[in-house]
Amino acid sequence: MFFDMTDGDLIMPISDKTGMNSKGNFFMNMGNDLSVNTEDGSIHMTPGWNDSINNDFNSGFNSNFGMNPFDN
């Protein structure tokens, strides 16, 4: 989950670049700790979303089952 600093809500990731908050609004990760509410177009600050995507092979959503092609 990622904290939305703009409205104080939590965003649960659905896929690599999308998530949904507790109100049912859909968000798309734009990079640089920003996401956009796809229903009203508002920009939200979501720090940490990019960090987990960039540092984990499978986008930080705990889906790595040891199938990393870069492992020897």
Residue type, 18: T
Domain extent listing, the chain = 2-55
Q: What is the pLDDT of residues 12-64, one digit of tens each?
A: 999 888 999 999 999 999 988 899 999 999 999 998 886 555 444 444 444 44
Residue 69: predicted pLDDT: 54
Going by their DSSP bridges, the two strands 43-45 and 2-4 should be labelled as unpaired
DSSP 32-54: TTEEEETTT--EEE-TTHHHHHH
pTM of the model: 0.66
